[in-house]
Amino acid sequence: MFTGIITDIGRIEGVEQRGDTQFTISSGYEASGIALGASICCAGCCLTVTSVAANRQGGSLFTVDVSAESLSRTTLGHWRKGTRINLERALKAGDELGGHIVSGHVDGTAKIISIDDEGDSRRFVFHAPDDLARFIAPKGSVCLDGTSLTVNEVDGFHFGTNLIPHTLSVTCWGNAQVGDSVNLEIDMLARYVARLKESVSQ
């Protein structure tokens, strides 16, 4: 489990086809602190570390394997050498829950349709897939590219959120552009409430 609070920005160092697709990622995390089989949230996707080594900067190089199913449902199929991604280590018992409960199981992708400066913050508006838009509610939580964000408003399949300067500076969001697709995970609570409602109405 994760919180949606980004703790590092990683960089794709290699892409290799081995049945599944293997990505090599550099990070600022110390290699000695990453165990084989550990889960790391990469741009919102929970991925399993299959190898790890120290890099020259004192951080780490780790590899993850991604299935064709994951590539088809996420933005990972567009990762290339040099792509920068939001990273978060798995939540430990006793850690502060600063965002919301995030599973790292991406439901689909949303597209950025507008970006506007609003005070010192930046306002993003997204288009959500038809089958996921009903789970997104004003003042609710949503996870986009691994980042826990609060929904400001919902208008049909569109929803908006504001990112403060700190978030823009410590994540990949500062470089986001209109037209970009981002990984979307709906709030777990919203999913179960909707499922309960469906069960009651049957």
pLDDT in tens, 61-100: 999 999 999 999 999 999 999 999 999 999 887 787 788 8
- Residue type for position 186: I
pTM above 0.75, yes or no: yes
pLDDT at residue 95 in the model: 80
Cα pseudo-dihedral 106, 125, 80, 64, rounded to 10: -20
pLDDT at residue 200 in the model: 66
7 Cα distance to chain centroid: 12
Angle at 192 between CA 189 and CA 198, to 5 degrees: 140
Q: What are the strands of the beta sheet with 153-155, ordered from one edge?
A: 147-150, 141-144, 181-186, 108-118, 121-127, 158-163, 153-155
Taking the C-alpha atoms of residue 42 and residue 147, their distance in angstroms, rounded to an integer, is 10
pLDDT in tens, the chain (202 residues): 999 999 999 999 999 998 899 999 999 999 999 999 999 999 999 999 999 999 988 999 999 999 999 999 999 999 999 999 999 999 887 787 788 889 999 999 999 999 999 999 999 999 999 999 999 999 999 999 999 999 999 999 999 999 999 999 999 999 999 999 999 999 887 777 766 766 666 6
User: Looking at the chain, which residues constitute the CATH 2.40.30.20 domain(s)?
Assistant: 8-89, 108-201
Multiple choice CATH, 8-89, 3.40.50.300, 3.90.79.10, 3.40.50.970, 2.40.30.20: 2.40.30.20
108-201: CATH topology: Elongation Factor Tu (Ef-tu); domain 3 (2.40.30)
Taking the C-alpha atoms of residue 170 and residue 168, their distance in angstroms, rounded to an integer, is 6
